Amino acid sequence: MTNSLRAQWAKAAVYVFRQETRTDAEDALSDLLCDLMHLYSAEILESQLVRARGHYTTEMREDPA
């Protein structure tokens, strides 16, 4: 699995979000992130952000492209 593929998955998620919400391209990512924050409590979100950062750091070491 490559980071390019991971980025494509994220791009697809933003695309679906835009279709569902009719959010413009400029605001789509920040609005999606905001809605994810609404989904989880601050405590859960913070631990998941730390976990995600660790995954990202590892994945960038494995496939820096």
Distance spanning both ends of the chain, measured CA to CA: 12
Task: Return d(Cα 47, Cα 27) in angstroms, integer.
Answer: 25
With cut-offs at 50, 70 and 90, classify the pLDDT of residue 65: low
Residue 45 confidence (pLDDT): 85
- Residue for token pair 């998620």: 13
| 22-53 per-position pLDDT tens digit | 999 999 999 999 999 888 887 888 889 999 99
Task: Return d(Cα 12, Cα 41) in angstroms, integer.
Answer: 25
**Two tokens at 24?**
């413009």
Domain ranges for the chain, please list them.
Answer: 3-62
Phi-psi region of 22 (alpha: psi -120 to 50; beta: other; left: phi over 0): left
State the pTM of this model: 0.80
Residue 14 confidence (pLDDT): 98
